[in-house]
Every structure is written in structure tokens, then in C-alpha cells.
Copies of this chain bind each other. A is one copy, B any other.
Amino acid sequence: MKSGSPEVLEWRRDPITGVWVIIAPQRSQRPYEFEVELEQGQNYPCVFCEGMESCTPEEAFCLRNEDGKWQVRVFPNKFPALGRREKLFWEKEGLFYERMGGFGVHEVIVETPEHYLSFVDFPVEQLERVVYTYRERMKFWGQEERLRYCLIFKNQGMQAGASMFHPHSQLIATPVIPKRVEEELALARDFYSRERRCVFCALLEEELKMEKRLIFKNEYFVALVPYAARFSYEVWILPLEHCAYFTELEQLSSFAEILKLVLQALAEALGKPVFNFVLHVAPYRRESTDEDCRWVYHWHLEIIPFPVRMAGFEWGTGFYINPVIPENAASVLRKLIDIRVGESCGRH
């Protein structure tokens, strides 16, 4: 099947801010299910459903149960922001503009064959399959030497930017290290050079001592509201042991457990499960300058619950205004999880 060869698919760099932008006109041809929010999910069966496999681009990865039915399924995005067949080049345009070919990877990870099953309601075992898939796809693209970074994220709900109702996440792998990751790395390197330790490990130690922003902790992970949370009820999940690479994650079920508890508590606290989450990991090790990432970086998951409205102040400053005191948000979520965990302990 044709996966839609675009007229233009390129990176452009803004000479004023240094930010790279992907110009991807074919993205505007995406089907958009959510024009009327009330109709959410009514487009059933959709191309992500069981039985509709022939409507997607060719399968890249699949997890099946004993009956041979798929449980998680990965394929290239039909309306990609970046493409593997695009050229990898860099050039000047005019006197001082810069552009690159739109080389990269953009995959869809369909998280369940069940159209109507909400991510928040997945059994822990299914969540475990999803995070296993994240890890395997991230490893897989690590073999492609021209890719420097692999981003996995999920947009849940129309207001969070999803264009399809059927539960899915996305993977975008790029030949450049994202600005946000560069910023994190710069400060983490700076901290490491002064303190000889990972800034995230220091943060965890401090938060475990202070307790007031902790939400939940299991054997391997901690969920907390960051000190300077940008958004109401923003939550981070971090491994307790230092680790820069999600590809090295072994405690899949423990991670699935804490993820489910946090998302359930957010849905309860805020009334509906609409959120973005993003896996922050160290860049692939390609150059000698990437080597220190193993020591200075610490992978984590950032969850940004609805509603997030970027407005004039945020665009103009790069700062944020958060109307919910982080300690209060943590307290609400902690209590909700306590009740749930207490209940589930009682049942056993």
C-alpha cells in the first residue's frame, strides 16, 4: 500500500530562536474523528481495530496471544511527520536560513485491539505489553545509526491532540537531539560537573526526604509532582535506581503498576482521562559527546493532564503560570491512590 509520498517533508530552523520545525503538509490530510466531541469513538470499527489490519501501512511489530490474536501492533504512521525514505541532508537556503531533509521515523503503536477500552482501564498485564513494546521499538531504532533520538509519547483525548479515538501511542525518531532534551542535558551536565552525581538522583533523594510532593512509591519507581510543576497536576514517574536508558528497563510490571495507579488517580481527580505523556530518555550513543549521558541523565515519564492552554504569556516568555500548588496536587493524588491501594490490599 502507498504510505503517502509527500510533496515536502522537511526540517526548517528559525534563525531567531534556533528552534527546528517540521513542515509536514500531508499531516493536514489526516482523518480527524473529533470534529464534534460528542461523537468520540463512534467511528467504529476504525482502521486501528481488529479485522481492519489491511487498512494500515505494513506491520512493523506485533505481540500476539496463544490464539494468534494480536494484542499490541506497530506500523508506520500513514500521515508521517518524518519519513525513512526522506533524504538526510542539511543545507543553507538563501543567506541564512537552514533546512534538513525530513528523514526520521514516525510509528503508531496501537495499544489494544479493543476500540472502546480506555487506556486508564487497561489491565496491568496489557499496560505491561504496551511498555514492553515501547522498549523493544526504542531498541530496534537504536540500530539505525543516522537516528540520534527516539521519543515515545501518548496523546489521550481530543483536547490533548489525539486525532483517533482508538487507544494508541506514537514513536518519533529523529536525526537531531530535541531542544528540550538538550536543555535538560546542559543543566544535568553542569550539576554533574559540580556535584559528581546525577541531578535526578539528587532530586529523588530530596523528594523522598521531604515527602510533601510524593504521590506513590513501589519497589522500583516513584511518582511525584515536580517542585516547579508547569501545569496543574503535572506528574513525573522516575526509576529509583539511576538509569539513563529506557531500553534497559527490566521491571516492566512494576512500571505498569505505578503508571496505572497514577492515571487512575488523575482521571478521578480531574473528572476525565485526557492527558499527554512523554518518555524522556537519553539520546542514543552515537558520538563521544553522548557517552556521559549514561551518568548524567535519568529517564523518566512526564504526564501532563488536561487542561493545558498555552496562551500569550507562555508563548511570549517560555515561562508558565500554574494555579495549583504542587504540594496540594500531590496530596489529592496521594489520598486517591492510598484509598485504591488500601482497597486492593483488603481484597487479598
Residues of A within 8 A of B (CB): 8, 12-28, 81, 93-97, 151, 153-155, 159-162, 170, 172, 174, 178-181, 183-184, 187-188, 191, 199-200, 202-203, 206, 210, 226-230, 232, 276-280, 302, 304, 308-313, 315-326, 328
Whether B318 contacts A183 by the Cβ 8 Å rule is yes
A-B CB contact pairs (8 Å), 6 listed = A16-B188, A17-B183, A21-B229, A22-B320, A27-B323, A179-B319
Whether A28 contacts B323 by the Cβ 8 Å rule is yes
Q: Give the docked Cα–Cα distance between A183 and B280 (Å).
A: 22
From A161, A200, A226, A323, name the one whose CB has the most chain B CB atoms within 10 angstroms: A323
Q: Give the docked Cα–Cα distance between A257 and B323 (Å).
A: 37
Residue ID in chain B nearest A187 by CB atoms: B18
Residues in chain B near residue A328, CB distance under 8 A: 25
Whether A317 contacts B203 by the Cβ 8 Å rule is no
Residues in chain B near residue A200, CB distance under 8 A: 16
Whether B18 contacts A183 by the Cβ 8 Å rule is yes
Residue ID in chain B nearest A316 by CB atoms: B278
Copies in the complex: 2
**Distance in Å from the Cβ of A238 to the closest Cβ of chain B?**
11
Whether B322 contacts A21 by the Cβ 8 Å rule is yes
Whether A21 contacts B320 by the Cβ 8 Å rule is yes
Residue ID in chain B nearest A177 by CB atoms: B317
Residues in chain B near residue A277, CB distance under 8 A: 312
A96-B203, A96-B206, A179-B318 known, 12 other contacts, Cβ within 8 Å: A8-B325, A15-B203, A16-B187, A17-B187, A18-B187, A19-B318, A19-B319, A21-B228, A23-B326, A151-B313, A276-B312, A310-B310
Residues in chain B near residue A276, CB distance under 8 A: 310-312, 315
**Distance in Å from the Cβ of A101 to the closest Cβ of chain B?**
15
Whether B96 contacts A202 by the Cβ 8 Å rule is yes
- Given the known inter-chain contacts A151-B313, A312-B277, please indicate yes or no for A23 contacting B318, CB distance below 8 A: no
Residues in chain B near residue A96, CB distance under 8 A: 191, 199, 202-203, 206
Residue ID in chain B nearest A229 by CB atoms: B21
Whether B322 contacts A23 by the Cβ 8 Å rule is yes
**Which residue from B15, B93, B161 sits with its C-beta under 8 Å from A311?**
B161
Q: Give the docked Cα–Cα distance between A155 and B322 (Å).
A: 17
**Distance in Å from the Cβ of A187 to the closest Cβ of chain B?**
5
Q: Give the docked Cα–Cα distance between A161 and B326 (Å).
A: 22
**Which residue from B93, B317, B325 sits with its C-beta under 8 Å from A180?**
B317
Whether A203 contacts B16 by the Cβ 8 Å rule is yes
- Given the known inter-chain contacts A23-B325, A94-B206, A202-B95, please indicate yes or no for A316 contacting B151, CB distance below 8 A: yes
**When A and B form their complex, which 10 residue pairs have the shortest distance between CB atoms, in order from nearest?**
A153-B312, A161-B311, A178-B317, A179-B318, A278-B316, A28-B323, A180-B318, A12-B228, A14-B228, A27-B323
Whether B14 contacts A226 by the Cβ 8 Å rule is yes
Q: Give the docked Cα–Cα distance between A217 and B232 (Å).
A: 42
